[in-house]
Amino acid sequence: MSRRIPFLILGAGPTGLSAAARLAECGAGEHLLVEKSDRVGGLAASFRDARGFTWDIGGHVLFSHYPVFDALVNSLFAPGAMLEHTRSAWARIGAHWVPYPVQRNLRHLPRGTAWACVDGLQRERENRSAPPDRFDAWAVRAFGRELADLFMLPYNRKVWAWPLERMGVDWIADRVAGVDLEKIREDLALERDDTGWGPNRTFRFPRSGGTGAIWERLAARAGRDRIRLNALPEKLDTDRRVLRLAGGGEVPYDHVLSTLPLPSLCALLLPSPPDSVRRLAAGLEYNTVHVVGIGLRGRPPEFLRGRSWMYFPGDECPFYRVTVFSNYSPENVPEGPYWSLLTETSASIHRPVDAEALPRAVMRGCMATGLLGEADEAVSTWTWTAGHAYPIPAADRDRRLEEIFAHLERRGVQSRGRFGAWRYEVGNQDHSAMQGREWADRMVNGGQERVYRGAAGA
């Protein structure tokens, strides 16, 4: 058995790395990160393929709700090593490209359709019944029947791959742009665009190494020798405070942070949680995202040259989103005339996807939506499946989480991060990093944790 570690962290993604870096910064005592994969960064890791294209696990962009997180990122990069971008996001509705957010740029739809959307919004404004507590009904109330049917419902069905009537509405605040009907009318009449909404209207991206470069740098700060890669936890004995590793080896600890998906953590615990808690954790809902990256020789078509990403609600393609990844950094592609598209396709028990056949379906989808033409030459195809990709904000989620967290707290275990806290609304990189940091602060000086419970902003 190795010597006792004051702070044990399971998982070396953004949450675990931020916790470790904060502990190191506070001089809190020794920590150890145990990571099952062969690299740090978790879902925010990046990869370089054999042809020299860099890929993320889906289009990651960095934006932040927290000045401390900004300061952390700034401290990791020399000036110029982080590129700044203004979002250029679009939705493809039928054969039309509409700037995001769609509800604020209706003028890009045929006139009749656009004004029908406005009429739908007006009808809902006059609706005096109680506000809906399920996402599908909420979308109709917020956007009107026409716009909901045109974009909100088909797009969300595609991205979540989950029945929308089982999703709650508490997560929506800064994830879906609201509606100002007077302004929409005015913009439509005056043919004006309104594309500046949202926390990600500008975003940053590392010049080199993809999104994963952020977390590689933070790993260096947390101490490379304090990270054990390719190490699979087998049991977390919370009576003895000992982690048992697959293949032998035990790590005694004082405090433990888990960033694993909650059901995986529950399966590790010894003594095993009561059946009721295990069932609650097993019933937490999530989807899977299949990422297909296409590396291309040549130059992107004119209309894609300034674009960041595009949403696809339609059935003509399997993906829900495509990022023009070469636009994020010239170093995302090999030297020479190359460009790249990064596609994301969701799957779940409700929307199965044939992963093997997907790359071909993605190519067909790119042709059907005009992203690629016959003359485009794909020289590389990169695939990755994120088994746990989006934690679904199901209507009964918070009730489940309350009971699970109460049990974990009694066992001296904190679970944080995208799938450790299971709250989509605080599941981005900035939120996850803040959850890790707040945990470290609590361990070191009794600070209060707010973010993992859903406090999205500073």
Ligand X SMILES: Cc1cc2nc3c(=O)[nH]c(=O)nc-3n(C[C@H](O)[C@H](O)[C@H](O)COP(=O)(O)OP(=O)(O)OC[C@H]3O[C@@H](n4cnc5c(N)ncnc54)[C@H](O)[C@@H]3O)c2cc1C
Q: Select the span of 20-28, 33-41, 186-194, 350-358 touching ligand X (CB under 6 A).
A: 33-41
Output the smallest distance, CB 390 to ligand X, in A: 6
For the chain, first and last CA: distance in Å? 42
Q: Which residues contact 312 (CB under 8 A, 6 or more apart)?
A: 91, 92, 155, 158, 319, 320, 321, 322, 365, 369
Q: Given candidates 14, 120, 263, 273, which one binds ligand X under the rule CB under 6 A?
A: 14
Nearer to ligand X, 11 or 273 (CB): 11
Nearer to ligand X, 151 or 215 (CB): 215
Output the smallest distance, CB 46 to ligand X, in A: 11
Q: Is 441 in the site for ligand X (CB under 6 A)?
A: no
Q: Given candidates 233, 273, 300, 313, which one binds ligand X under the rule CB under 6 A?
A: 233
Is-contact 23 444, C-beta < 8 A?
yes
Q: Given candidates 5, 8, 9, 12, which one binds ligand X under the rule CB under 6 A?
A: 12
Q: Given candidates 8, 9, 16, 251, which one binds ligand X under the rule CB under 6 A?
A: 16
Q: Select the span of 41-49, 91-99, 332-340, 398-406 touching ligand X (CB under 6 A).
A: 41-49
Output the smallest distance, CB 175 to ligand X, in A: 12
Angle at 198 between CA 193 and CA 202, to 5 degrees: 85
Question: Within a 10 A sphere around the Cβ of 342, how many other Cβ atoms?
Answer: 28
Nearer to ligand X, 41 or 144 (CB): 41
Own/partner long-range contacts of 356-362 (Cβ < 8 Å, ≥24 apart): 358/290, 358/292, 358/318, 358/383, 359/292, 359/383, 361/317, 361/318, 362/292, 362/294, 362/317, 362/318, 362/319
Is-contact 277 406, C-beta < 8 A?
no
Output the smallest distance, CB 231 to ligand X, in A: 7
250-258 vs 413-415, strand pairing mode = parallel
Question: Could you give the 3-state DSSP secondary structure of residue 145?
Answer: helix
| Binding positions for ligand X, 189-228, rule CB under 6 A | none
Output the smallest distance, CB 426 to ligand X, in A: 9
| Binding positions for ligand X, 151-180, rule CB under 6 A | none
Helix (H) or strand (E) holding 190: helix 181-190
Is-contact 139 156, C-beta < 8 A?
yes
Is-contact 87 307, C-beta < 8 A?
no
Q: Given candidates 43, 72, 213, 451, which one binds ligand X under the rule CB under 6 A?
A: 43
Nearer to ligand X, 144 or 415 (CB): 415
Question: Could you give the 3-state DSSP secondary structure of residue 390?
Answer: strand
Pattern 251-280, binding to ligand X, x per CB under 6 A? Answer: --------xx---x----------------
Nearer to ligand X, 11 or 210 (CB): 11
Is-contact 115 239, C-beta < 8 A?
no
Q: Which amino acid is at 429?
A: Q
Size of site (CB under 6 A) for ligand X: 38
DSSP string, 56-83: ESS---B--S-HHHHHHHHHHS-TTSEE
Q: Given candidates 107, 307, 418, 437, which one binds ligand X under the rule CB under 6 A?
A: 418
Nearer to ligand X, 39 or 134 (CB): 39
Pattern 352-391, binding to ligand X, x per CB under 6 A? Answer: ----------------------------------x--x--
What is d(CA 83, CA 451) in angstroms, rounded to the nearest whole number? 27
Q: Select the span of 56-64, 73-81, 188-196, 354-362 touching ligand X (CB under 6 A).
A: 56-64
Output the smallest distance, CB 87 to ligand X, in A: 11
Q: Given candidates 6, 25, 37, 88, which one binds ligand X under the rule CB under 6 A?
A: 37
Nearer to ligand X, 376 or 430 (CB): 430
Output the smallest distance, CB 293 to ligand X, in A: 12
Nearer to ligand X, 140 or 256 (CB): 256
Maximum Cα interatomic distance, the chain, rounded to a whole number of Å? 73
Nearer to ligand X, 300 or 420 (CB): 420
Q: Given candidates 24, 44, 150, 284, which one binds ligand X under the rule CB under 6 A?
A: 44
Per-residue tokens: 70? 């900004």
Is-contact 96 172, C-beta < 8 A?
no
Alpha helix ranges (H) inside 223-307 = 262-268, 275-282
Angle at 374 between CA 369 and CA 375, to 5 degrees: 120
DSSP string, 286-342: EEEEEEEEEEEES---GGGTT--EEE--STTSS-SEEE-GGGT-GGGS-SSSEEEEE
Site residues (CB under 6 A) for ligand X? 10-16, 34-37, 42-44, 57-62, 232-233, 259-260, 264, 289, 344, 386, 389, 417-420, 427-430, 432
